[in-house]
Amino acid sequence: MTSTTMTEDRPGAVTSQLDPYSDAFLSEPFSHEQTLRDAGPLIWLPQYGAYAMARYDQVHHALNDTDTFSSGKGVGIETRPEGEPPNILMSDDPLHSALRRVHNKVLNPAYIRGLRATFRESAEGLIDPLVGAGPVDGIGDLAVAFPLSVFPDMVGVRKDGRENLLKAASLTFNSFGPQNRLRQAAQQEGPQAMGWLWEQTAPGATADGVGQHIHEVAADQGLHEMIARGLVAGLLIPGLDTTMHGLGLALYYLATNPDQWQLLKADPSRARAAFEEAVRLGSPVQTFARVATRDVEVAPGSTIPEGERVLLFLGSANRDPRRWDAPEAYDISRVTSGHVGFGSGGHSCSGQNIARMEAECILGVLAERASSISLAGEPVYELNNSLRGFRSLPIRIDA
């Protein structure tokens, strides 16, 4: 399963029998990704008929060269089905830039700064009852509860039925993998959840929030209503699960690295740095795919032919020792600029600064209110074809 060999059929690429969508890989990707990084700059995955890149330089370059590495044919291991409406995640220029302008205009820096007071108040209300309360679930009680409240409130989604957002996100990110048991399980509840979500994207459904503002800006730019609804959905789905997993990972790393907790405790203004380092090290989004629009040499002697799909290992790139010193260490003093935990370039996450604001409020309040944070049991990972995070995280938050 772990063998890698050179192949005459794919010159310049190393063939690997590793299955990045197996339970073994998804449960503990670090050692498997090291195998891929050590094998070479370009990997061939015969099981999926796709190339793969796991080193930082190649992944970062591919994310930024959107002319050569297309998202329009899908960002999963399979080709995007014909006839699907365009969306911000799976589109190329000029359409992608037009869609991105809507998100950028609505989620401008001044607007995001204005969220701080509301987010901070919500974080205080959530954390205060948990301090000194004994074991709590860092996922259900914090990492899920906070974004599932403040983020849909911001968009303007009604309060009943918000659990459908989690099911819709599970379907979306699992669908980027093959038709395995994880994708099949998500398909059981996902379609109904997607129907509920689609109702929330209609004009007027989010009358007092960002969702309606997106419709107004999109209409001003001459975009069809269906495109605008996709932009609302494209904010809600990745804006929740990735933030939840990022917060959960930050709580885990702080609970298991008491020296780093003490650094944060001594200076709560490091909250954003603590989150950023957790996103680098844990990488809530593990993989995205692209399709080469031309023959492209990604390293001397290693060429991806035009039309071939390539799987980008974002998590592996974020732990590549060719780019990072002591990459497996959680260090909130690290300069994390350049990590690809939120993607990079034109297709980087349009809601990443909202995620940072949420994390800054939660982790900052936690540092101010708690004397220590520690594990209170064994964490349980949530397996997903594209995401990495916890299903449960028993922690103790001491007064």
Whether 86 shows a pLDDT value over 80: the answer reads: no
Residue-wise pLDDT tens digits, 319-359: 999 999 999 999 999 999 999 999 999 999 888 999 999 99
Q: How many helices (H) and strands (E) does the chain have?
A: 15, 14
Report strand pairing: 309-313 vs 372-375: unpaired
Whether 160 shows a pLDDT value over 70: the answer reads: yes
Closest CA to 336 of 273, 388, 286: 273
pLDDT of residue 237: 86
How confident is the model over 169-177, as a mean pLDDT?
94
Q: Which two tokens stand for residue 13?
A: 């690429």
- Banded pLDDT at 2 (limits 50, 70, 90): very low
Whether 265 shows a pLDDT value over 70: the answer reads: yes
Whether 5 shows a pLDDT value over 70: the answer reads: no
Residue 92's CATH number:
1.10.630.10
pLDDT of residue 10: 86
Strand intervals (E) in the chain = 4-6, 14-16, 43-45, 50-53, 69-70, 135-137, 287-292, 296-299, 302-304, 309-313, 372-375, 380-383, 388-392, 394-398
Residue-wise pLDDT tens digits, 203-233: 998 878 999 999 999 999 999 999 999 999 9
Q: Which two tokens stand for residue 74?
A: 């899908």
Closest CA to 391 of 202, 249, 189, 217: 249
Percent of the chain with pLDDT over 70: 98
**Is the Cα dihedral 85, 89, 92, 97 positive or negative?**
positive
pLDDT of residue 367: 97
Domain interval for residue 67: 4-398
Start-to-end Cα distance in the chain: 48
Identify whether 268 is preceded by a cis peptide bond (ω within 30 of 0). no
pLDDT of residue 128: 96
pLDDT of residue 279: 97
Residue-wise pLDDT tens digits, 273-287: 999 999 999 999 999
Q: What does pLDDT average to over the chain? A: 94
Query: Looking at the DSSP assignment, which residues form a beta bridge with residue 5?
Result: 15
When divided into structural domains, the chain yields a total of 1
Whether 262 shows a pLDDT value over 50: the answer reads: yes
Q: DSSP secondary structure string, 333-353? A: TS--TT--BTB-GGGS-TTHH
Whether residue 293 contacts residue 306, with contact meaning beta carbons closer than 8 Å, is answered with yes
